[in-house]
Amino acid sequence: MEALDGNAIGGLLHEVFGVEMTTAKGVCASCGAAGQVAELVVYLQAPGTVARCRSCSSILMVIVEVRGTTCVDLRGLAALDLASGAGLTR
Amino acid sequence: MRTIVFGVPEWSGHRAGQHLDIRLTAEDGYRAEREYSIASAPGERVAITVERLDNGEVSPYLTEELRQGDEIELRGPIGGYFVWDPEDESPLLLVAGGSGIVPLRAMVRHRRGSGSEVPVRLLYSSRTLADVIYRAELDEPADGVEVVYTLTREQPTGWSGYARRVDEELLGEVAWPAEEGALAFVCGPTSFVETVASGLVELGYPPPRVKTERFGATGR
């Protein structure tokens, strides 16, 4: 399947987080690479939506919808900083 | 190929390069959702340009069945990364592969609508001349906008433009030299975007100045 990028999940992430997320900065927990969500490698039907690190290909985000519930797995991220300065850090 | 204009109540306004999501719900509740780049400039009515994909779930409806006056569910504007604002006064390099022209067209229109005078070079790769979208508009660019076509599959008799795939060599001929500090937007199929983005970085463009957006057959 063809890889896209984080622009393709701007709407989905907005639904999950409630704000524009393509300019949020993610830090890969595996290799430490930091980059904007728009630049991640994204597979839309993997199944579910999978975002991988552009540097080391580690899985950073997995989003799956099961019976109307959206499950979001961010274990691959060390940090996710919103452009506004607010952020999620593990 | 069809361009559709929407009247959107309470539209918050959009920026050049943003998307919207279109959601179709069947009578049995099955939902299909696709993202489309907004083809119009900020301040213009919201428009998208849709290419019909034979096995698509959404595009056949949008290109063939949707009628004037129909209502549709859309969400947006979406995205803040692949966006151009006239406050950035750097020269603009726009590189489109196929329907990747759509968000770049919004930027060119926004430049004109906002009175910006930043110089623009638009390199647009299509298979054939008939595949060129917005050709009438692009053939009469505003002052300061240069449009360069390359036709990769078939060229009309007497074609004097480029007739090959975009690679680093072609970019070297068309793109602003790196020292001009240009801002680049690259949109197209994944392999096209990868080639162009890495070519520009090889030519000396700093990666943060090369904004990319990739789409696939299930995309817009």
CATH of the domain at B37: 2.40.30.10
- Which of B43, B78, B113 terminates a domain? The answer is B78
Domain assignment of residue B68, yes or no: yes
Write the ipTM: 0.89
d(C-alpha A49, C-alpha A72), whole Å: 10
Question: Do residue B76 and residue A36 have CB atoms under 8 angstroms apart?
Answer: no
Q: Are B101 and B164 found together in one domain? A: yes
Domain assignment of residue B100, yes or no: yes
Q: Are B112 and B41 found together in one domain? A: no
Number of separate domains in chain A: 1
Domain that holds residue A62: 4-89
The mean pLDDT value for B52-58 works out to 88
Closest residue in B to A42 (Cα) is B214
pLDDT of B220 = 38
Three-class SS of chain B: CEEEEECCCCCCCCCECCEEEEEEECCCCCEEEEEEEECCCCCCCEEEEECCCCCCCCHHHHHHHCCCCCCCEEEEEECCCCCECCCCCCCEEEEEEHHHHHHHHHHHHHHHHHCCCCCEEEEEEECCHHHCCCHHHHCCCCCCEEEEEEECCCCCCCCCCECCCCCHHHHHHHCCCHHHCCEEEEEEEHHHHHHHHHHHHHCCCCHHHEEEEEECCCCC
Helix (H, G, I), strand (E, B) or coil at A12: helix
Mutate to test the interface with B, among A2, A4, A7 (most CBs of B within 10 A): A7
List the single range of A46-50, B132-136, B185-189 with lowest mean pLDDT.
A46-50
Domain assignment of residue B170, yes or no: yes
Question: Do residue A5 and residue B214 have CB atoms under 8 angstroms apart?
Answer: yes
Question: Do residue B79 and residue A37 have CB atoms under 8 angstroms apart?
Answer: no
- Give B-chain residues touching A47 at CB under 8 angstroms: none
d(C-alpha A46, C-alpha A33), whole Å: 23
d(C-alpha B103, C-alpha B83), whole Å: 9
Domain that holds residue B125: 92-215
Say whether residue B21 is in contact with chain A using an 8 A CB cutoff. yes
Residue B15 pLDDT grade (very low, low, confident, very high; cuts 50, 70, 90): very high
List the single range of B86-90, B172-176, B208-212, B214-218 with lowest mean pLDDT.
B214-218
pLDDT of B54 = 86
Question: Do residue A38 and residue B217 have CB atoms under 8 angstroms apart?
Answer: no
pLDDT of A87 = 52
Domain assignment of residue B193, yes or no: yes
Domain assignment of residue B147, yes or no: yes
Q: Are B97 and B61 found together in one domain? A: no
β B210-215/B183-189 pair status: parallel
Mutate to test the interface with A, among B78, B84, B198 (most CBs of A within 10 A): B78
- Which of B54, B78, B102 terminates a domain? The answer is B78
Give yes or no for a contact between B200 and B210, defined as CB atoms under 8 angstroms apart. yes
Question: Do residue A11 and residue B81 have CB atoms under 8 angstroms apart?
Answer: no
Over the stretch B133-150, which tens digit does the pLDDT of each residue have? 999 999 999 999 999 999
Say whether residue A83 is in contact with chain B using an 8 A CB cutoff. yes
The mean pLDDT value for A54-80 works out to 95
- Give A-chain residues touching B213 at CB under 8 angstroms: 5, 7, 38
d(C-alpha B89, C-alpha B71), whole Å: 39
Over the stretch B147-165, which tens digit does the pLDDT of each residue have? 999 999 999 999 999 999 9
pLDDT at A90 over 60: no
For the whole model, what pTM was predicted?
0.94
pLDDT at B219 over 50: no
Say whether residue A30 is in contact with chain B using an 8 A CB cutoff. no
Domain assignment of residue B150, yes or no: yes
Number of separate domains in chain B: 2
What mean pLDDT is reported for chain A? Answer: 91
Closest residue in B to A43 (Cα) is B216
Length of chain A: 90
Q: Measure the CA angle with vertex B84, ends B87 and B144; round to 5°.
A: 75
Over the stretch A4-26, which tens digit does the pLDDT of each residue have? 999 999 999 999 999 999 999 99
- Which of B78, B111, B138 terminates a domain? The answer is B78
pLDDT of B176 = 98
Domain assignment of residue B22, yes or no: yes
- Give A-chain residues touching B81 at CB under 8 angstroms: 6-7, 22-23, 36-39
What mean pLDDT is reported for chain B? Answer: 95
Residue A27 pLDDT grade (very low, low, confident, very high; cuts 50, 70, 90): very high
pLDDT of A88 = 54
Closest residue in B to A38 (Cα) is B81
pLDDT at A83 over 70: no
Q: Tell me which amino acid residue A52 is.
A: R
CATH of the domain at B199: 3.40.50.80
